[in-house]
Chains A and B, each alone.
Chain A
Amino acid sequence: ELKVEQNPLFLSMQEGKNYTIYCNYSTTSDRLYWYRQDPGKSLESLFVLLSNGAVKQEGRLMASLDTKARLSTLHITAAVHDLSATYFCALDGVWEGGNKLVFGAGTILRVKS
C-alpha cells in the first residue's frame, strides 16, 4: 500500500527561526511535488522534484529529494508570518493501474510574530 507521511502535522514557530518539514513515502515515484494551501483557498504548486539529489529554492523555502531514503524535505529559513499556511507533499506515479497524485496529510505551519 502506498503511504505518504508528513511530519510534523502541526508546526508553530517564531519569526526568524529555521525548521524542516519531512515527507516520507513508501515506494518509488516519478516525481514529488510540494504544494501550499492557504485557509479556504486552493493548492499552489511550489516545487516539483524529479531526481535523486534534486534541490530547489524559492525565497525562504528549499525543497530536496533523496529517492534512496524515500524522503523529501521542505526547509524554512528565517520564517516570516506570510509563510503561515498548510504545506502538502504529493507523490506522482502509476499505482494500482492508474496515474495519480497521492498526498500527505499536510503540515499546518503557523509563524508567530
Chain B
Amino acid sequence: GAGVSQSPRYKVAKRGQDVALRCDPISGHVSLFWYQQALGQGPEFLTYFQNEAQLDKSGLPSDRFFAERPEGSVSTLKIQRTQQEDSAVYLCASSLDRVETQYFGPGTRLLVL
C-alpha cells in the first residue's frame, strides 16, 4: 500500500518568506509526528498529533513554527519568517497508534537563502 508522502520534496525559500510543508500519512494511522533532521545529524522531534489533537509540541524550536492536522489525516507544518538556521530536512512519520512503529516519509529538504 501507499506509504507516507510529503510535498514538496525540495523547497528553496528566501529569508523571511513563509513556507508550508505537507504530510499525507498512511491511511488509518492515528499518530503523526514531525521531525527536523540537520545535515549529518539524527532526526529531532518537533511535534506529535493523535488524530487532530496536537498532544506534544515541545520540540518546536520557536513560535515561528506551527503545525496542524485539522481533520486527523493530512498535516501541514508551517514556518513563518524563515531563517537560515531553519534549513534542514523535515520528516513526517505516522503510526497506527502511539506505541506502534513509526513509518517515515521521504522528507522535505528546505534551503533558506
Contacts and interface: CB of A to CB of B under 8 A. Distances in A.
Interface string B50-90: 00000110110000000000000000000000000000000
A53 B98 CA distance: 24
Contacts of A96: 58
Interface of A: 4, 30-31, 33, 35, 41-45, 48, 88, 90, 92, 96-106
A45 B101 contact: yes
Contact of A104 (B35, B42, B59, B101): B42
Contacts of B35: 101
B103 A45 contact: yes
Contacts of A106: 40-42
B18 interface: no
Contacts of A99: 48, 55-56, 98
Contacts of A100: 33, 45, 48, 56, 58-59
